[in-house]
Amino acid sequence: MNSSIIRFILGNVLKIEGLLLFLPAIVSGIYFEHEGLYYVSVAAVCLILGFLMTRKTPESQVFYLKEGCITTALSWILLSFFGCLPFYLSREIPSFADALFETISGFTTTGASILSDVEALSHCALFWRSFTHWIGGMGVLVFLLAVIPLSGGSHINLMRAESPGPSVGKLVPKIRYTARILYVIYFIMTVAEILLLLAGGMPLFDALTTSFGTAGTGGFGIKNDSFMSYSPYLQWIVTIFMILFGVNFNAYYLILFGKLKKALFIEEVRAYFVIILAASAIIFFNIVNTCSGIFEALTHAAFQVGSIITTTGFSSVDFDLWPETSHTILVLLMFIGACAGSTGGGIKVSRFLILVKTVIKEMNSYIHPKSIKKIKMDGKCVEHEVVRSTNVYLITFVIIFSVSVFAISIDGKDLTTNFTAVAATINNIGPGLALVGPTQNFGHFSVFSKYVLMFDMMAGRLELFPLLILFHPAAWKDLFTRRFSQK
């Protein structure tokens, strides 16, 4: 294992976080808040540690998928640990477990909160809380690849370990340029949303934090009622952008370079929009009698479908009060999630398409045993390795989900609460139903249950295996063997 490149990349991650922590410090200066001192202090620690870890450039910068997974998992753990310190040191969140939960929820773009009164936080805390969504949405290592020159031809392993979806490829021949293109698209779309929200009369601070949450599909609100008190215009702007950020970014790349026809024929994207339209229509007809008008019902249906399938987690209404049919649709959308290669979470639309096509292929083999038929996506044959990894992913997902539901059941809460709490965290949604509904929070769970849910949030964001590999002895065996042999 190339431990020196892991150390070097982790050092660069700490330097990036140190620089980013100055942004909430600037916000505290604008609003004359003393809490900014804690952000500056933690930023200084991150920068010092980062420079110490990167002072020696590794002789070899080539690493494989194993190093990529370990680096990615450790990067996110480091980000969350240092990112939570300003909350804890300032006593705005006095419990370390709660501060860590809130920060992991931010970086993983989950949006599940332990806070009962969000509006009591300082402006710099609210800014940092929402900004963690924007950082985690595209991924800090994707940003690292975009700005820091790393030699060696295996850096796709970093992007593959961090990017959501069953497969990750290069948009252009060089990974660095791919990362830059992704971040340019991400930045432009964020700025566009900010401008449209400002045009609707939203204050600048609200527009910034809302856009950070939308772009990262995170969902931390700066008001206790999430998005319920904003105008229908603002709700529709956020609805549109939530859905857009849930689209595979490969489609935007194709559109950017004039390949509109090819972008429109991406099978996953078409299925994604069909699911949104179908779910919105069913919920609309299910809740129209409970709303004051057709437009209100349509607004709430579209907003919540967009929020849940993209795993953003904003709430325009207390959907826990909706009929059971609507509850069922929303819970199903939690698991489906957004497109691969987007900022959204969940299992991903592409995996469900592969799963459905695998089932159809299996049924056809019963009817025509001698037939040989390949699974196709976008007119191309899906490699057996992709099908296999999809099946393994789903099995692992079910195991982790089941164990997590059992683990937090020790707290004695009802099944709906436990089931949707795990669904909302492992799929990076945010709100669930019952005691974790849109008007509730996760603060009532025990410390043990919070750590279980923190693991679920991290595992869900990193597609399970980069985090799980940290617990595999073989991943560290050659590292320790190499160290002892040197001694």
Q: In the predicted model, what is the mean pLDDT of the chain?
A: 87
- Sorted by sequence, the CB contacts under 8 Å of residue 270 that are 6+ apart come out as 264
Give the Cβ contact number of residue 53 at 10 Å. 18
pLDDT bracket for residue 168 (50, 70, 90): very low
Report the DSSP pairing between strands 380-381 and 376-377.
antiparallel
Q: Give me the pLDDT at residue 6, please.
A: 83
Q: Give me the pLDDT at residue 90, please.
A: 94
Residue (of 310, 384, 399) closest to 349 by Cα position? 310
| Rounded Cα–Cα distance for residues 459 and 104 (Å) | 11
- Sorted by sequence, the CB contacts under 8 Å of residue 159 that are 6+ apart come out as 139, 141, 142, 145, 168, 175, 178, 179
Residue (of 220, 207, 424, 227) closest to 317 by Cα position? 227
Q: Give me the pLDDT at residue 136, please.
A: 87
Q: What is the value of pTM for the model shown?
A: 0.91
Secondary structure letter of residue 60 according to DSSP = -
| Rounded Cα–Cα distance for residues 400 and 417 (Å) | 17
Q: Give me the pLDDT at residue 148, please.
A: 57
Average pLDDT over residues 374-401: 87
pLDDT bracket for residue 180 (50, 70, 90): confident
* pLDDT of 305 over the 50 cut: yes
Q: Give me the pLDDT at residue 14, please.
A: 93
Tell me, rounded to whole angstroms, the distance of Cα 35 from its chain centroid: 27
* pLDDT of 170 over the 60 cut: no
Q: Give me the pLDDT at residue 169, please.
A: 47
Query: Which of the pair, 486 or 429, is modelled with greater confidence?
Result: 429
* pLDDT of 345 over the 80 cut: yes
Tell me, rounded to whole angstroms, the distance of Cα 338 from its chain centroid: 10
Q: Give me the pLDDT at residue 452, please.
A: 97
pLDDT bracket for residue 49 (50, 70, 90): very high
